[in-house]
Amino acid sequence: MATRSQLASKHGAPADSGKETARYVNAFKLRLEDGTQGIFVRPVTAVKSSRNAHHNLLQSMPGIGREKAKKIYSHYANLKDMMANWESAKENKIAVGKTWAKVQAFLNESWGETEQKTIRKRFSSESKQMKLEDLV
C-alpha cells in the first residue's frame, strides 16, 4: 500500500501533512501581523519591439500559440513572405495537421460584412467617477 506522500507526489500534490500546512499558514499570519513578511514584487520589463508586435499578430491566428509564433517568425522573412509561402510551413514541419489547416482557412477566409450587435447600452448616468482611494 502506498503512503500518503507517495500518492501525493504521484498526483502532483504537495507531500506535506495538514499539520505542516497549518504551521506554515500560522507562521505566515504571524509574519504579516508583526510586519516582517516582505512583499516581493517582480520588476516588470516591458519591451516594445516590432518582434513582439509580430509575435502578437501571429498568436492572434487560430491554432498559433507562443512557441508556434516563434517558429513562424524565425522561418519567414516577414508577414508577406509567410502569407505567400504558407505551404512551406507544412513542408518544414513548422505547422502541420489541424494547425496548418486552421491558419490556411483563416488566411483564405473572406472578410465579409460583420454586423455590430449592442449587448448592453450604457448611459452616462450609470458612469461613476472613482478616486484612487475608492479602489484601495
User: pLDDT of 32-50, one tens digit each?
Assistant: 888 887 776 777 666 666 6
Residue 15, C-beta contacts closer than 8 angstroms, at least 6 positions apart: 4, 5, 8, 9
pLDDT digits (tens, 9 = 90+) for 95-119: 889 999 999 999 888 887 777 788 8
Least Cα distance to 86 among 66, 68, 101 occurs for: 101
Task: Specify the pTM.
Answer: 0.47
Give 4-33 pLDDT, tens digit per residue.
555 455 545 555 688 888 888 898 888 888
Q: How far is CA 97 from CA 3, 11, 89, 131, in A?
A: 43, 32, 11, 52
